[in-house]
């Protein structure tokens, strides 16, 4: 059984608003995952004060984690089986894109610019995180890249207000 880890812990300072609440927010992404048959969805919410913002299974960051890389390392130790990451700013992710990721059995998708998107990594059951250099990308560096073809536009993440032009 695949577990979705929905990354919603940041306050989105570069975006100027909380990305976890934009464009249907985490609830929309939970619905996308449920539509793909995912039963186990865990929202990694960041600080304890953010826990009430989300429904379902919500895990605040442990106090010993200082950054997203450490939170991901901790969460992977807590979960058995395959894991699909979904970042809360995957505003364009739809059911067909997530289904393609799930079928990959282990890959990091490429966006339209052929840039790897590790925050949408699909990790098979026997996957072990890579050696960390402090970056999230290093944790998934040994997973192959996945050309998403016509669904590559769904793999874009949004970090700045100027990125939010898809509507």
Cα separation of the two ends of the chain: 34
Pick the closest to residue 60 from 71, 12, 135 (CA basis).
71
User: What residue ranges define each of the domains in the chain, with the CATH number in brackets?
Assistant: 3-163 (3.90.550.10)
Partners of residue 84 on adjacent β-strands:
4, 122
| Residue 22, pLDDT above cutoff 50 | no
The answer to whether the predicted template modeling score (pTM) of the entire model surpasses 0.85 is yes
Please tell me the predicted confidence (pLDDT) of residue 17: 59
DSSP helix/strand/coil, 155: helix
Pick the closest to residue 100 from 75, 117, 79, 88 (CA basis).
117
Encode pLDDT of 81-131 as tens digits.
999 999 988 888 999 999 999 999 899 999 999 999 999 999 999 999 999
pLDDT bracket for residue 147 (50, 70, 90): very high
């Amino acid at each position: 059984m695949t577990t979705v880890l929905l990354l919603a812990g940041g306050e989105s300072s570069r975006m100027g608003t909380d990305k976890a609440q934009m464009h249907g927010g985490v609830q929309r992404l939970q619905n996308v995952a449920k539509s793909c048959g995912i039963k186990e969805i865990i929202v990694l919410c960041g600080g304890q004060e953010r826990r009430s913002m989300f429904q379902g299974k919500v895990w605040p960051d442990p106090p010993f984690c200082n950054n997203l890389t450490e939170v991901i390392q901790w969460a992977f130790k807590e979960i058995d089986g395959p894991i699909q990451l979904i970042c809360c700013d995957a505003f364009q992710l739809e059911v067909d894109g997530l289904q393609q990721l799930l079928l990959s059995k282990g890959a990091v998708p490429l966006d339209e610019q052929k840039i790897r998107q590790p925050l949408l990594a699909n990790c098979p059951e026997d996957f072990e995180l890579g050696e960390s250099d402090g970056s999230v990308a290093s944790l998934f560096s040994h997973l192959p890249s996945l050309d998403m073809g016509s669904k590559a536009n769904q793999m874009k993440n949004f970090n700045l207000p100027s990125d939010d032009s898809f509507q």
